[in-house]
């Protein structure tokens, strides 16, 4: 077993230093979860939803404490941490609405019934869902799987080692519901033990949000599991991985609106540490210069510093000096290949953290790393194009496929763009924004298309149970 350590990314102070739980303890947690799931599953969906709604009240009552913990552990500015909690509650309550409105009701096949056949498709709980969730949106990523799993009648093992206070709060809120203990347990395990949980423990599904490399490791463990003598050797995994999302600023775009969304929200929110952030931007040549001027003003207005300071808009990067060095290397590569540095590019120390200034690059092309790799920080490359058709080709020229966006005032142009895209989500006149009413999934290296959120998210964490009846033999 190894130590799990975590430091405040701004002060450098230790916020966690603990030993990984042994596999045997984590495996016992899975068995406890199976017992809890069996008791939870017999409740009506409305009862489960009501219990989850009561649990969500815990987060409202402890909002400030939870937000401060997030800021200490991953560096998100305090106001943004509080905002994430507010939107988390909105998202979770929407999922309760879906459950209460019949998202898990059987699929009726009445239109295909005849004298010899009646049938329906039911959604049954799977059992225990193992959720591995990241630091960048510690509440959002954790609630997506947790609320869907619980509403569908499952129990949860939650691994939240990079923002452990959130894991503890989730266990406190959801651990015991309707008098049933062990419905959500927070496990503190290292990578090796986590792999053993997937390969050997009594679980029924894995949800992972993180890097492409991490997704490959999870998939490898799921494959190894099938060789073990287990109750459920063949399980599914839901992968939401990295991306290199793009936005297209069409010639008719409202530039003030587009700059606010694509730069302030799309690129700079959470210091650029978002899987669905705008990481490369294409702009029609006719509006390129004006857009760049607006984008520059937005970037230069940002305030980096202590994330506990209410004036701070950009906190330190979670990956520390290594993350800054990686981004600086991409900027250097772009400049060497002909990109023009419009603003930013320099680093400076505040407290014990190294910051990279919000950076805007123009005259970019696809030979540059900054256009082809995932940039997890406040760096935005811009490329001027001449047509919608050229933009569609450039946007889809990537191994990723999480989201893409277009800014336009023409519905027909928007619909043509939507048809040309191959990403889990296509945005029109917004970006970097997740709506619980829509399924969340990715293509290619951005994930395996497993759906989170929306009514379909509840069904994705359910087992399909087909009922085939011969009515001729029934009274």
User: What's the whole-number mean pLDDT along residues 259-274?
Assistant: 97
pLDDT in tens, 59-107: 999 999 999 999 999 999 999 999 999 999 999 999 999 999 999 999 9
Residue 179 gets the label, from left (phi > 0), alpha (psi -120 to 50) or beta, of left
Give the model's confidence band at 473: pLDDT under 50 very low, under 70 low, under 90 confident, else very high.
confident
Q: Which residue has the tokens 């390969």?
A: 199
- What's the pLDDT score for residue 475? 77
Query: Is residue 376 scored above 90 in pLDDT?
Result: yes
Residue % of the chain over a pLDDT of 90: 98
Give me the helix-helix angle, 63-74 and 164-174, nearest 10°: 150
pLDDT band at 1 (very low <50, low <70, confident <90, very high): low
* Residue 44: partners with Cβ closer than 8 Å, 6 or more residues away: none
Partners of 359 in the β-ladder: 379
pLDDT of residue 44: 97
275 given a catalytic annotation? yes
The CA distance from 309 to 78, in Å, is 7
Query: Beta partners for 7?
Result: 14
Phi then psi dihedrals of residue 223, to 5 deg: -65, -40
What pLDDT, on a 0 to 100 scale, did the predictor assign at position 23? 97
- Contact between 73 and 81 under an 8 Å Cβ cutoff? The reply is no
The 10s digit of each residue's pLDDT in 19-51 is: 999 999 999 999 999 999 999 999 999 999 999
Supply φ then ψ for residue 128, to 5 degrees.
Answer: -115, 125
For residue 319, is pLDDT > 90? yes
Alpha-carbon distance of 264 to 430, in angstroms, equals: 11
| pLDDT, mean of residues 99-126 | 96
Q: Give percent of the chain above pLDDT 70.
A: 100
Q: Quick: pLDDT tens for 195-241.
A: 999 999 999 999 999 999 999 999 999 999 999 999 999 999 999 99
Marked catalytic residue, from 52, 141, 275, 276: 275
d(CA 375, CA 28): 39
Question: For residues 156 and 185, is the Cβ–Cβ distance under 8 A?
Answer: yes
Catalytic residue among 240, 276, 431, 445: 240
Catalytic residue check, 237: no
What is the chain's mean pLDDT, rounded?
Answer: 96
Q: How far is CA 350 from the centre of its chain?
A: 29
pLDDT tens, residue by residue, 395-441: 999 999 999 999 999 999 999 999 999 999 999 999 999 999 999 99
What pLDDT does 398 receive? 96
Query: CA angle at residue 305 from 303 to 306, to 5 degrees?
Result: 135
Q: Burial of 60 by CB count in 10 Å (0-12 exposed, 13-18 middle, 19+ buried)?
A: exposed
- Give the global pTM: 0.96
Interval 355-375 mean pLDDT? 96
Residue 381's nearest CA partner among 241, 262, 212 is 262
Confidence at residue 65, expressed as pLDDT on a 0 to 100 scale: 97
State residue 229's pLDDT score.
95
């Amino acid at each position: 077993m190894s130590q799990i350590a975590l430091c405040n990314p701004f002060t450098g102070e230790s916020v966690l230093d603990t030993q990984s739980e042994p596999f045997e303890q984590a495996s016992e947690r899975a068995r406890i979860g199976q017992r809890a799931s069996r008791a939870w599953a017999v409740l009506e969906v409305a009862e489960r939803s009501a219990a989850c709604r009561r649990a969500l009240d815990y987060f409202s009552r402890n909002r400030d404490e939870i937000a401060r913990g997030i800021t200490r552990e991953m560096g998100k500015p305090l106001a943004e941490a509080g905002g994430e909690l507010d939107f988390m509650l909105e998202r979770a309550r929407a999922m309760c609405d879906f459950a209460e409105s019949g998202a898990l009701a059987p699929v009726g096949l009445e239109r295909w019934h005849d004298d010899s056949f009646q049938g329906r498709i039911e959604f049954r709980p799977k059992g225990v869902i193992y959720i591995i969730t990241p630091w960048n949106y510690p509440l959002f990523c954790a609630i997506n799987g947790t609320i869907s799993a619980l509403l569908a009648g499952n129990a949860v093992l939650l691994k939240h080692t990079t923002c452990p206070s959130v894991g503890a709060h989730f266990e406190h809120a959801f651990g015991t519901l309707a008098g049933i203990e062990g419905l959500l347990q927070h496990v503190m395990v290292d990578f090796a033990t986590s792999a053993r949980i997937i390969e050997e423990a009594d679980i029924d599904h894995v949800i992972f949000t993180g890097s492409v490399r991490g997704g490959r490791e999870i998939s490898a463990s799921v494959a190894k599991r099938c060789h073990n003598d287990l109750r459920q050797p063949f399980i599914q995994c839901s992968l939401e991985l990295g991306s290199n999302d793009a936005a297209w600023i069409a010639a008719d775009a409202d530039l003030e609106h587009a700059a606010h969304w694509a730069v302030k929200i799309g690129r700079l929110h959470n210091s650029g540490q978002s899987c669905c952030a705008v990481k490369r931007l294409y702009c029609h040549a006719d509006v390129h210069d004006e857009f760049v001027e607006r984008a520059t003003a937005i970037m230069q207005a940002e305030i980096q510093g202590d994330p506990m300071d209410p004036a701070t808009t950009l906190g330190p990067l979670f990956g520390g000096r290594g993350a800054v060095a990686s981004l600086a290397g991409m900027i250097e590569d772009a400049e060497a290949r002909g990109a023009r540095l419009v603003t930013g590019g320099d680093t400076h120390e505040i407290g014990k953290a190294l910051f990279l200034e919000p950076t805007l690059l123009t005259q970019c092309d696809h030979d540059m790393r900054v256009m082809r790799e995932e940039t997890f920080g406040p760096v935005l490359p811009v490329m001027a194009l001449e047509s919608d058709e050229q933009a569609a080709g450039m946007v889809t020229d990537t191994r990723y496929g999480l989201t893409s966006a277009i800014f336009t005032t023409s519905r027909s142009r928007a619909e043509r763009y939507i048809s040309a895209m191959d990403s889990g989500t296509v945005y029109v006149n917004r970006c970097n924004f997740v709506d619980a009413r829509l399924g969340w999934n990715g293509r290619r290296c951005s994930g395996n298309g497993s759906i989170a959120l929306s009514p379909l998210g509840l069904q994705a964490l359910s087992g399909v149970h087909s009922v085939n009846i011969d009515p001729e033999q029934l009274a």
